[in-house]
Amino acid sequence: MKKSTKKGWVIVFAISLIVVICALGLLCWHLFGIYTSGKENNDGLTIDVPTVSKITSTEEVDDKPSSSVNSEIIVEDSDEEPSKVASKQDKKEKNTDSDKKHEDTEKDKEEERVYINGNINFTELWKINKDIYAWIKIPNTAVDYPILQTDGDDAFYLEHNIYKQYSFAGCIYSEKINSKDFSDPNTILYGHNLLNGTMFASLHNFRDPDFFDNNEYIYILMPEHTLIYRIFSAYEYDDRHIMYSFDFNNPDVFADYLEYATNPVNSMTYNVRETGVTANDTILTLSTCMDGTGASRYLVQGVLISDEPVG
C-alpha cells in the first residue's frame, strides 16, 4: 500500500515538474519574442533612403515633343494663296504642339517632384506607407524613426510596423486628435519601451541628470520643414490620456499644465531646464511606459524653437 502511494506521489511530482518546465519555456519564448520584435521592426526601418544625388532632378525634363507635327496640311477653301494658308496652318499647329509640350512638361515635373529632407526621402517612404508624415531624430539615442498616423483605429501602430504588418514593437505614432503639422499647442508622440533599447526605450536616458544636461534637442523632419524642439522637462507621469484630460486650446489650462510640467514635483525622478516656455508656445511630448509597470508613463517634453524650411 505504501509503495503504491509513493509511486502515486512520484507521478504527481513528475507531472508538476513537466508543467513548470513548459510554463517557463513559454515565458522565455514570450520574452524572446518581445526582444526580437523590436529588433526586427528596427531592421525593417533600415531601408535604402535615396540621397539627393540618386533622384532625378525636376529640371531634367524631356523637352522633346511627344509626337512630331503632322506634315499633312488640309487646305480649306480660301481666297488666299495656298502657300499662305499652309503657312498659317503650320503656325497654328506649331502653337498647339508648343502648348501641349508645355502641359506635358508641367505634368512631368509634378510627377517627378520629390520630397527630401536631409537623408530622408519622403517620396520613397510614401511608396511603402502613406501614413508616414514626419521623422523624429534625437541625437545620442536610438530614436531615429518615421512618425505615422492612421485614419482608422488610433492604436493600430501600437502593434503594427511601417508595412502594416503585426509587430509587437509597433511604430512611433500620433493620434488623430493631433494635427499632422505639429501646430497644436501640445503634440503627443507614442512609442514602446522595449527591452532591446529600440523605439522610445532610450528616452529613459534622460533620467540621468548628466545626459539630460548634455542633450537638449529633438528634431522633427517633415517633407518641407524641419522643426527643432528644446527639451525642457523629463519626468514620470500617470497613465491618463493627456489630450483628453486637458483643453490645451484654453490658454489658462495650458498655462497651468506647463506650470506643473516645468516643475513636476510629484514625480519620483525628474529633470528640468529653464527655457521660458509659455502658453504662447507649442510643445512636443514624447510618451513611453515606465520600466516594469503599465500604470505610469515617462514623458520627455520640448518647446518649439525653430521652424526651418527645406532648401
**Per residue in 273-301, pLDDT tens?**
999 999 999 999 999 999 766 789 999 99
Mean pLDDT of the chain: 79
Say what the pLDDT of residue 134 is. Answer: 98
Low-confidence winner among 62-76, 129-143, 199-213, 279-293 (lowest mean pLDDT):
62-76
Specify the pTM: 0.70
How many separate helices (H) and strands (E) can be counted in the chain? 6, 11
- pLDDT at residue number 101: 60
Average pLDDT over residues 154-171: 97
What CA–CA distance (Å, rounded) separates 167 from 40? 9
Q: Can you tell me the distance from the alpha carbon of 47 to that of 162, in angstroms, rounded to the nearest whole number?
A: 11
Give the cell for residue 190.
Answer: 507614442
Least confident of 15-29, 245-259, 267-281, 287-301: 15-29
Share above pLDDT 70 across residues of the chain, in percent, rounded to a whole number: 64
Q: Provide the pLDDT for residue 311.
A: 79
Q: Model confidence over 25-54: pLDDT tens digits?
A: 555 554 445 444 444 444 444 433 333 223
234, 301 Cβ separation under 8 angstroms:
yes
CA-closest candidate to residue 146, choices 217, 45, 52, 35: 45
Question: Of 206, 289, 279, 204, whose CA–CA distance to 246 is shortest?
Answer: 279
Cell 499632422 locates to 180
Report the C-alpha gap between 157 and 179 in whole angstroms. 17
- pLDDT-derived band of residue 268, with 50, 70 and 90 as boundaries? confident
* Strand 172-173 relative to strand 144-148, pairing: parallel
Q: What is the pLDDT of residues 50-100, one digit of tens each?
A: 332 232 222 332 333 333 323 322 233 445 555 554 555 555 555 656 666
Is pLDDT larger for residue 67 or for residue 303?
A: 303
Which residues does residue 227 pair with via DSSP β-bridges, in sequence order?
220, 307
Between 3-12, 78-87, 106-115, the lowest mean confidence (pLDDT) is in 78-87
Return the domain boundaries, the chain. Answer: 39-54+122-309, 72-113
* Domain 39-54+122-309 classification at class level: mainly beta
For residue 204, is pLDDT > 70? Answer: yes
CA 126 to chain centre: 11
